[in-house]
């Protein structure tokens, strides 16, 4: 695997980054009640006594949410354990009960790891279940919380299941942070637990950042950064914050432990205006919910059903194409491409050819993939590997095979790519040289330079059917024949 | 005639209704009249809905006339403690913070009573959010003990107990967190039953302490309590703490007696009682012995830590359960320039002093630095109490003790000293901590005519045994 | 071991609980809470290390429900009775202090 290259925030300094990723789980209903878990509905239309926190209501755990948590835990190599829910107590209007049901010291998943494309391994401390809050809309003052006159609350999102995935502070630069989120997202989507859409809010990232001089092993004060709405915001915020912190240390100032938010418009992190009293959440075990003890047979079943992850694909490719460029590699291991590549590799297609055709021709067709199945893809590449088709013919045939569902053999004929045996090729070349007798005469007499002209003519007429190499071979063979005829 | 109607228990009432000796409307009329007489003095109810009750009565008479078979509670006038959600009818928990709040749904127990054709008369008074032992903490009114109007009916289900004791309702539902069904039952001379934790769904009960709360019946007789208990017990998928078991058979076993049963008298609980209460307990013991049970003494010192543990766990859970009353979505809202100011103003105005005291005690117990010393320690005491009971139940089938150390005290007598008030619960609290069932049965009245209650305690799921023994005591003291 | 609670504690706790107390109330609550703490202190004197904390009285685990839609509440039924509503939302005063 390629090695990890890190860029610090300033010379002699390194980042220490941990990420907290919250993902909404793709369940049909909310975590504790039967209200639909839907996006974009009219406000306050997916509500019931439970998710509104009405007096007398009680939570009941959604089995599917537990199932998804298990799948993610397996994909992250975490320990899946019997877990308990806790109440996190604080007052806020988007929280109907003024406590959040979450998991505290005994989460469902603990001690996992995530391998990045670069080969770096990031520790996953925990991945636990908790409920989402409602959404606030601020009115007056341009809709921003600081200047609002009042606020409105939509509880549709209240009670939606979240999985909170907390990494160890193992991430060492903003690009690596971006890689981490991308890789984590692909896992969440691969196991079916989440849509992973940052723009829609089904994937949310908060970062914990500190810096330290390279070589220092202790951790310095960390700052939490919120409001990172895209991967671009993530990297930019981390870069800004890293520089800000280094500057503070170099100026001899104290680093405040605080929460900051990323201001996209001004490209800075700013301190939150909300008073940050040290929150005493008064965690205690949720008395309304019994512990969740995942069934071992369910865990084993899900383990056997784990889809192949990107890291496994990278490993497979590394064995066959060790020098593959990482950007090409990431393209061809993507879900859309991979079935084709895997089928081609399994069928013994030359790996570099298989990768090239995937990365180039196939990728172009993916947006409108129709009749080109992995099997047909492999058949065409097989013909190219054998030499039956030339490269440009293969490329044309790939597109044709997508537009027209007829068997590959029929398409070869349709396109005029006859079975290229030597005599057919010679016939084609002979046809051309008969129409250029002067040039043929010069070539026959040893003028190599005119070969180019002749071949050009051949390719102009028959380039769709034969390869340049085949044409040259036929030309040479015809000259030899001519010579032997004379002698 | 009306007085006669009021004498009938559920079985007799339904027999007479089935025989057409009386109509449901007439039954309701008798109760309505009783309410008109008693309620101005007793003040058990926060809200009455007699018009709806009479509508239901008329419907039931119509159904009977058409030959329909009616439910187990047909014709039975029922009072509901006002911390149970009743759809489209106000539910206040006796607090100003929920003044005028109308739930959009029924509690599961209310659904079940309605399904069995019970007739809801109205909502009864309680200590605010069930926090108290006298019903004096209600934000709306004080309820008076029907046996002596200057005295409390007990709490927190004082309104339900007083309604049944003064025959304004045939049966009632209450809730019990530290004795709030059993103690008022004892002080007003009715039967009060707390099931094993998890037997009865808490969905729709305004939560006080989630790991301690249970709903149960108050009734004039053991049999009536058994019938109502059977109707409300059983698994509810909307309550994740409700037991999978269905409802046990109670009415069927009432006559099975106590021959050979081993009963343990908890001496250290008896020691907390006044001399007259002790005599009441001993009278009850005599009936059990006469019926063939053996009664021996046992000391369970561990139970004494129960009071301390209860006064950490219950307020801690309550402080969290009552956080939702913040003026945002329902109930009272006081003005404030910001959300936080609004919440503070609302809660300050809306909660009474005892509720505030317990919220603060609970918040303290959970707060950083104190959680281990208070909350975790209290949870260890619960295990200790349960272990003590387990030990006891290797030698005994049931335990017997006073329900309340004293008879009904005077209104205002204890309300200044919270600790004195809390001690009223010393005999009842242990069962809530361990999650075990218990029932209070009326024994004799004391020299002042005040009722004395005796309490039977059993291991988890031992309700049939409890009711058998309760029936024997009731029979023996008749 | 007795835990003392002073008036600053009372004020802090009151704020955590979103309650405002007058000075008289703070003093009164300090008295009654201290009394209660004395009662509670009894249990701290005991060696309870042999007893695990009881988080639930039941031995149950895993009471889960199927991921299936169940009927909820009509918006009007809750918004019409809410303390304050606007359009289709619950309404509250501003979250932060005025700028």
From the CA of B156, how many Å to the nearest CA of chain A? 17
**∠ at Cα B231 (B230, B236), nearest 5°?**
100
pLDDT the model gives residue B22: 97
What distance in Å separates the CA atoms of residue B132 and residue B158, rounded to the nearest whole number?
10
Which one, of B399, B448, B428, B444, lies nearest residue B154 by Cα?
A: B428
B contacts of A89 (beta carbons < 8 Å): 319-320, 323, 366
Residue A249 burial (CB count, 10 A)? 17
**A458: pLDDT strictly greater than 60:** yes
> Catalytic pick from B180, B201, B242, B440?
B180
- Nearest-10 crossing angle of helices A296-304, A63-75: 60
> Catalytic pick from B95, B156, B157, B431?
B156
A contacts of C73 (beta carbons < 8 Å): 47-49, 52
Element (H, E) at B437: none
What distance in Å separates the CA atoms of residue A151 and residue A97, rounded to the nearest whole number?
18
pLDDT the model gives residue A420: 60
What distance in Å separates the CA atoms of residue A149 and residue A362, rounded to the nearest whole number?
54
The class (CATH top level) of C7-44 is mainly alpha
pLDDT the model gives residue A421: 66
What are residue C32's DSSP bridge partners? none
Chain segment B160-201, per-residue pLDDT in tens: 999 999 999 999 999 999 999 999 999 999 999 999 999 999
Mean pLDDT for B409-438 is 90
Which one, of B255, B218, B171, B186, lies nearest residue B475 by Cα?
A: B255
Mean pLDDT for C64-71 is 96
Chain segment B82-125, per-residue pLDDT in tens: 999 999 999 999 999 999 899 999 999 999 999 999 999 999 99
Q: Give chains near C: 3+ CB pairs under 8 A.
A: A, B
**A277: pLDDT strictly greater than 80:** no
Interface touch B319/C17, C-beta < 8 Å: yes
* Residue B189 region by backbone torsions, left for phi larger than 0, else alpha for psi between -120 and 50, else beta: left
Average pLDDT, chain B: 96
Task: Catalogue all structural domains in chain B, each as residue range(s) with its CATH number.
Answer: 2-249 (3.90.1300.10), 254-308+373-476 (3.90.1300.10)
pLDDT the model gives residue B364: 93
C contacts of B319 (beta carbons < 8 Å): 17
Tell me the residue length of chain A: 487
Chain segment B270-307, per-residue pLDDT in tens: 999 999 999 999 999 999 999 999 999 999 999 989 99
Is the separation of the CB atoms in A344 and A384 below 8 Å? no
DSSP state of B246: -
The reply to whether B52 belongs to the active site is no
Is the separation of the CB atoms in A381 and A400 below 8 Å? no
List strand residue ranges (DSSP E) for B291-431, in order: 294-298, 398-402
Confidence tier at A53 by pLDDT (50, 70, 90): very high
From the CA of B330, how many Å to the nearest CA of chain C? 5
A vs C: CB pairs below 8 A? 127
Reported ipTM: the value is 0.96
Q: Which residues contact B319 (CB under 8 A, 6 or more apart)?
A: A89, A282, B358, B359, B360, B361, B362, B363, B366, C17
Is the separation of the CB atoms in A267 and A257 below 8 Å? no
B contacts of A55 (beta carbons < 8 Å): 85, 91, 93, 98, 101, 103, 206-207, 324-325, 330
Mean pLDDT for A447-474 is 80
Chain segment B213-258, per-residue pLDDT in tens: 999 999 999 999 999 999 999 999 999 999 998 899 999 999 999 9
What distance in Å separates the CA atoms of residue B473 and residue A338, rounded to the nearest whole number?
78
**A1: pLDDT strictly greater than 50:** no
Domain map (residue ranges) of chain C: 7-44
Confidence tier at C67 by pLDDT (50, 70, 90): very high
Average pLDDT, chain A: 90
What distance in Å separates the CA atoms of residue A203 and residue A207, rounded to the nearest whole number?
13
Chain segment B41-56, per-residue pLDDT in tens: 999 999 999 999 999 9
In SS3 terms, C34-89 reads as HHHHHHHHHHHCCCCCCCCCCCCCCCCCCCEECCCCCCCCCHHHHHCCCCCEECCE
**B27: pLDDT strictly greater than 60:** yes
What are residue B245's DSSP bridge partners? none
Chain segment B326-351, per-residue pLDDT in tens: 999 999 999 999 999 999 999 999 99
Element (H, E) at A150: strand A150-154
Query: Tokens standing for A124?
Result: 């996953």
Which one, of A75, A293, A296, lies nearest residue A192 by Cα?
A: A75
Residue A54 burial (CB count, 10 A)? 24
A vs B: CB pairs below 8 A? 95
What distance in Å separates the CA atoms of residue C68 and residue A107, rounded to the nearest whole number?
25
Which one, of A463, A464, A437, A461, lies nearest residue A450 by Cα?
A: A437
What are residue A270's DSSP bridge partners? A261
The structure's pTM equals 0.89
């Amino acid at each position: 695997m390629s090695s990890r290259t890190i860029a610090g925030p300033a010379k002699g300094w390194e980042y220490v980054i941990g990420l907290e990723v919250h993902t909404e789980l793709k369940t049909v209903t909310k975590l504790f009640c039967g209200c639909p878990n839907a996006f974009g509905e009219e406000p306050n239309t997916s509500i019931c006594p439970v998710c509104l926190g009405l007096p007398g209501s009680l939570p009941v755990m959604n089995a599917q949410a537990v199932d998804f948590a298990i799948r993610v835990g397996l994909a992250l190599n975490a320990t899946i354990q019997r877990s308990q829910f806790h109440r996190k107590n604080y007052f806020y209007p988007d929280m109907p009960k003024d406590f959040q049901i979450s998991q505290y010291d005994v989460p469902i998943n603990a001690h996992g790891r995530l391998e990045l494309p670069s080969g770096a391994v990031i520790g996953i401390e925990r991945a636990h279940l908790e409920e989402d809050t409602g959404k606030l809309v601020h009115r007056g003052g341009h809709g921003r919380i600081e200047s609002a006159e009042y606020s409105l609350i939509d509880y549709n999102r209240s009670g939606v299941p979240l999985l909170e995935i907390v990494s160890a502070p193992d991430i060492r630069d903003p690009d690596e942070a971006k890689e981490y989120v991308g890789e984590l997202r692909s896992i969440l989507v691969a196991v079916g637990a989440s849509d992973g859409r940052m723009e829609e809010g089904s994937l949310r990232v908060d970062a914990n950042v500190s810096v330290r001089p390279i070589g220092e092993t202790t951790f310095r004060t960390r700052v939490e950064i919120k409001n990172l709405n895209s991967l671009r915001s993530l990297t930019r915020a981390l870069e800004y914050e890293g520089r800000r912190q280094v500057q503070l240390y170099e100026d001899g100032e104290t680093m405040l432990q605080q929460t900051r938010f990323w201001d996209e418009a001004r490209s800075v992190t700013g301190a939150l205006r909300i008073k940050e009293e040290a929150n005493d959440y008064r965690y205690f075990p949720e008395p309304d919910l019994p512990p969740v003890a995942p069934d071992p047979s369910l865990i084993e079943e899900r383990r056997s059903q784990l889809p192949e992850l990107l890291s496994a694909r990278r490993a497979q490719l590394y064995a066959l194409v060790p020098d593959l460029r990482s950007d090409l590699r990431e393209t061809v291991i993507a879900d859309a491409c991979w079935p084709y590549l895997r089928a081609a590799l399994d069928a013994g297609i030359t790996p570099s050819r298989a990768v090239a055709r995937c990365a180039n021709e196939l990728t172009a067709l993916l947006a409108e993939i129709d009749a080109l199945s992995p099997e047909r893809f492999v058949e065409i590449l097989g013909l190219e590997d054998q030499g039956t088709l030339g490269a440009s013919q293969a490329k044309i045939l790939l597109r044709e095979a997508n537009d027209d569902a007829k068997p590959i053999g029929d398409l070869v004929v349709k396109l005029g790519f006859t079975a290229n045996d030597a005599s057919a090729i010679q016939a084609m070349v002979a046809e051309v040289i008969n129409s250029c007798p002067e040039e043929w005469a010069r070539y026959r007499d040893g003028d190599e330079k005119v070969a180019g002209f002749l071949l050009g003519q051949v390719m102009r007429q028959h380039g769709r059917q034969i390869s340049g190499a085949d044409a040259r071979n036929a030309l040479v063979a015809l000259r030899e024949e001519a010579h032997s005829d004379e002698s | 005639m009306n007085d006669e109607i009021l004498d009938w228990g559920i079985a007799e009432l339904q027999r007479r209704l089935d025989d057409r000796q009386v109509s449901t409307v007439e039954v309701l009329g008798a109760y309505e009249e009783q309410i008109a007489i008693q309620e101005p003095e007793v003040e058990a109810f926060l809200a009455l809905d007699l018009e709806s009750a009479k509508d239901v009565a008329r419907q039931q008479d119509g159904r009977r006339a058409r030959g329909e078979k009616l439910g187990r509670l047909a014709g039975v006038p029922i009072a509901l403690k006002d911390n149970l959600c009743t759809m489209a009818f106000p539910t206040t928990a006796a607090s100003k913070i929920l003044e005028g709040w109308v739930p959009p749904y029924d509690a599961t127990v209310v659904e079940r009573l309605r399904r069995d054709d019970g007739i809801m008369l109205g909502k009864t008074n309680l200590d605010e959010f069930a926090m108290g032992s006298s019903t004096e903490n209600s934000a709306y009114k004080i309820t008076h003990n029907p046996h002596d109007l200057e005295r409390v009916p007990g709490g927190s289900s004082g309104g339900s107990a007083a309604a049944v004791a003064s025959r304004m309702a045939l049966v009632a539902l209450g809730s019990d967190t530290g004795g709030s069904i059993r103690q008022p039952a004892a002080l007003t001379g009715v039967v009060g039953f707390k099931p094993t934790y998890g037997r009865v769904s808490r969905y729709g009960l305004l939560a006080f302490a989630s790991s301690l709360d249970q709903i149960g019946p108050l009734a004039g007789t053991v049999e009536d309590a058994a019938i109502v208990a059977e109707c409300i017990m059983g698994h509810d998928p909307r309550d994740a703490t409700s037991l999978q078991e269905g409802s046990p058979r109670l009415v069927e076993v009432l006559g099975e007696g106590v021959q050979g049963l081993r009963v343990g008298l908890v001496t250290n609980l008896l020691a907390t009682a006044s001399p007259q209460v002790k005599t009441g307990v001993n009278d009850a013991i005599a009936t059990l012995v006469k019926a063939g049970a053996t009664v021996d003494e046992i000391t369970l010192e561990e139970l004494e830590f129960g009071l301390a543990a209860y006064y950490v766990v219950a307020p801690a859970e309550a402080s969290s359960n009552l956080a939702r009353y913040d003026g945002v979505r329902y109930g009272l809202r006081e003005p404030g320039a910001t959300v936080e100011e609004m919440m503070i103003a609302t809660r300050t105005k809306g909660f009474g002093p005892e509720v505030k005291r317990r919220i603060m005690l609970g918040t303290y117990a959970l707060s950083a630095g104190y959680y281990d010393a208070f909350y975790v320690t209290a949870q260890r005491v619960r295990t200790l109490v349960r272990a003590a009971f387990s030990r006891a139940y290797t030698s005994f089938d049931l335990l017997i003790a006073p329900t309340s150390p004293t008879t009904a005290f005077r209104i205002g007598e204890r309300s200044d000293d919270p600790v004195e008030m809390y001690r009223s619960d010393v005999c009842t609290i242990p069962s809530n901590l361990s999650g075990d069932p218990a029932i209070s049965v009326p024994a004799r009245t004391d020299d002042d005519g005040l009722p004395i209650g005796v309490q039977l305690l059993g291991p988890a799921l031992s309700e049939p045994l409890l009711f058998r023994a309760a029936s024997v005591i009731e029979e023996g003291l008749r | 071991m007795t835990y003392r609670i002073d008036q600053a504690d009372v004020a802090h706790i009151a704020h955590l609980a979103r309650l405002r107390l007058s000075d008289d109330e703070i003093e009164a609550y300090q008295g009654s809470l201290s009394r209660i703490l004395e009662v509670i202190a009894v249990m701290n004197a005991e060696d309870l290390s042999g007893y695990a904390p009881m988080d639930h009285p039941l031995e149950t685990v895993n009471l889960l429900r199927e991921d299936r839609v169940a009927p909820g509440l009509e918006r009007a039924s809750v918004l019409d009775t809410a303390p304050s509503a606007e359009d289709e939302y619950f309404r509250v005063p501003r979250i932060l202090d005025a700028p």
